[in-house]
Amino acid sequence: MIIGHHQHRYRVHPHWGMPRPGTYPVNDCHEMVMDAGGRIILLTNETRNNLIVYNKNGKILDAFGHAFPGAHGLSIHDENGTQMLYICDIERHQVVKTDLNGRVILEIGYPVAAGVYQHADQFLPTESVVAPNGDIYVTDGYGLQYVIQYNSRGQYIRHWGGRGNGTGQFDCAHGIAIDHRNGDASLLITSRNHNAFKRFTMEGAYLETIVLPGSFVCRPVIKGDGLYAAVFRSGSNTNLGSGYITILDGNNRVVSTPGASAPVYRDGVLLPQEKEGAVFVHPHDVCVDDDENIYVCQWNSGRTYPIMLERV
């Protein structure tokens, strides 16, 4: 099966990441990253093996981690030649930094110093990203909807956002990425229930909104000039099983939506899109390799393993 549009079309490999029955169980498959060696690391909230490591052919190389019942966000960062994982756990109310073998390096709890959290249960971090200077940015996408900036030691610097409909506010600040495509670094932050990404300076000043009508997007993933994202639902937040993938070009125009209707612009405005076909249920994240193949993991989709989209 070939899906996608224009120059971004893909052959579907639905059984790419599926192990032998009874081995390496998963629950929700929340996010995936690729390390410097080309290994693909999957995060699931199944504590028998929270992290599963694949090669590009879908073979499982390793599995570890038993302490993340609310595993949700996974990012990777190179620190002086050593790669580190950052895991957001909504049940532990923490961001946990580990090495590639799962050894815990740092735990970041709720930001008491921000003055807006009364207790840890209000802090439900969904994603993190690390800047070149080591600062850690966390989105509290299931909590109070703030973005919190810490230094490399996990010490509070500032916060912004919060729940609301203002230009600098969020409704489900689900994901975050650093965008270098136009030179200066900026932050792209999901506001999922607004069907949008919002751009900010690294200090939290609002810059712009990228609107994706009808698409309840998860975190932004940047590869080359492209901006990729899983759309976990479309049309409405209660439209079960309506997910797909969206791909934007360097001008932030949608150029392909694998698993959905073709992108159409009218008077410069993207028209709402809808799911087509039965490839996806609830995509939650994408990982893009150097050949621009896409690996898709899914939430609440029958404990399915990742799907691979081979670019054609």
pLDDT at 44: 98
pLDDT at 250: 97
pLDDT at 242: 98
pLDDT at 90: 98
Q: Which sign does the torsion angle of CA 9, 252, 187, 273 carry?
A: negative
pLDDT at 269: 95
pTM recorded for the entire structure: 0.98
pLDDT at 66: 98
pLDDT at 256: 98
Q: Name all domains of the chain by residue range, CATH numbers in brackets.
A: 2-311 (2.120.10.30)
List of the chain residues with pLDDT < 50: none
pLDDT at 97: 98
pLDDT at 10: 98
pLDDT at 26: 98
Among 64, 29, 70, 49, residue whose Cα is nearest residue 303: 29
pLDDT at 45: 98
